[in-house]
């Protein structure tokens, strides 16, 4: 994975941006639950760019490990959630298909943090997302989306498989459940606050 590490002294203090809304991106491989998470947690009707996969996409679109999925995000999903009276998160769900990955760099622009959503059946699909976030110096957390009937792996095993540093939060979630998805976002915000505090300490 990319070895670029974000310099804490260059991060904008979170308190300076929270009142204006925080841009959060949800990334991961195809079919890991990004669209589902945006839909489950958004307080507004989410904008979705899901399209039906057709015969024209055979050999290009990959749905291995996501049996039965017939749609794919072709641009991004958008939703919004207010965590409290002062903090609003603007959520962008990135497309998972490789042919749309060129959009990711645009989505990362102005992003304060990201959630990498993973499916333990296809952990390798998450490597690109983590690489790009590290390259951009974007803080992130990892959330394991627990699909029904999947083999259970310990979080320590997932962390080792993804080569995640100890300081990157790794938690469980159910992307279909509003409270679970909200907990993921709160965990990310807490992580951003911790990094912001660290950056302020370095500068003083």
> What would the pLDDT profile of 18-63 be if each residue is shown by its tens digit?
556 899 999 998 888 999 999 999 999 877 655 454 444 444 445 5
State how far the Cα of 191 lies from the Cα of 140, in Å rounded to an integer. Answer: 8
Assign 86 a pLDDT band (cuts: 50, 70, 90).
Answer: confident
**In the prediction, which pLDDT does 54 show?**
44
Mean pLDDT over 105-123 rounds to 88
Output the six-digit token pair for 110. Answer: 């102005």
**In the prediction, which pLDDT does 202 show?**
80
**In the prediction, which pLDDT does 155 show?**
93
Q: In the predicted model, is pLDDT for residue 69 greater than 50? A: no
Assign 74 a pLDDT band (cuts: 50, 70, 90).
Answer: very low
**In the prediction, which pLDDT does 106 show?**
78
State how far the Cα of 156 lies from the Cα of 21, in Å rounded to an integer. Answer: 33
What angle (nearest 5°) sits at the alpha carbon of residue 174, between those of residues 168 and 175?
A: 90
What single DSSP character describes residue 100? G
In 3D space, the residue among 35, 112, 109 whose CA is nearest the CA of residue 78 turns out to be 35
Burial class (CB in 10 A: 0-12, 13-18, 19+), 115: buried
Q: Report helix angle 34-41 to 178-203, nearest 10.
A: 90
Q: In the predicted model, is pLDDT for residue 3 greater than 50? A: no
**In the prediction, which pLDDT does 98 show?**
64
Q: In the predicted model, is pLDDT for residue 13 greater than 70? A: no
- Give all domains of the chain, ordered by start, each with its CATH number: 13-203 (3.40.50.300)
Q: What are phi and psi of 119, to 5 degrees?
A: -115, 120
pLDDT tens per residue, range 115-173? 999 998 888 888 988 988 998 899 999 999 998 766 678 899 999 999 999 999 999 99
DSSP helix/strand/coil, 178: helix
State how far the Cα of 92 lies from the Cα of 107, in Å rounded to an integer. Answer: 8
State how far the Cα of 73 lies from the Cα of 98, in Å rounded to an integer. Answer: 11
Mean pLDDT over 77-83 rounds to 90
**In the prediction, which pLDDT does 52 show?**
55
Give the torsion through C-alpha atoms of 180, 144, 103, 67, to 10 deg.
-100
State how far the Cα of 32 lies from the Cα of 53, in Å rounded to an integer. Answer: 16
Beta bridge partners of 93: 26, 77
Q: In the predicted model, is pLDDT for residue 2 greater than 60? A: no
Q: What are phi and psi of 189, to 5 degrees?
A: -60, -40
């Amino acid at each position: 994975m990319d070895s670029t590490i974000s310099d804490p002294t260059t991060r904008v203090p979170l308190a300076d941006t929270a009142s204006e809304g925080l841009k959060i991106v949800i990334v991961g491989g195809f079919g890991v639950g990004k669209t589902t998470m945006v839909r489950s947690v958004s307080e507004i009707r989410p904008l979705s760019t899901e399209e039906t996969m057709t015969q024209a996409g055979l050999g290009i679109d990959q749905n291995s490990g996501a049996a039965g999925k017939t749609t794919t995000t072709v641009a991004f999903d958008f939703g919004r959630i207010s965590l409290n009276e002062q903090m609003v998160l603007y959520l962008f769900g990135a497309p998972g298909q490789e042919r749309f990955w060129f959009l990711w760099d645009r989505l990362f622009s102005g992003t304060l943090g990201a959630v990498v959503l993973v499916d333990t059946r296809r952990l390798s699909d998450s490597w690109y997302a983590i690489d790009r976030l590290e390259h951009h110096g974007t803080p992130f957390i990892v959330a394991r989306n627990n699909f029904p009937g999947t083999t259970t792996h310990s979080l320590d095993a997932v962390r080792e498989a993804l080569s995640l540093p100890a300081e990157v939060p790794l938690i469980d979630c159910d992307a279909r459940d509003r409270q679970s998805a909200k907990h993921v976002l709160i965990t990310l915000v807490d992580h951003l606050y911790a990094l912001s505090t660290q950056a302020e300490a370095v500068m003083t």
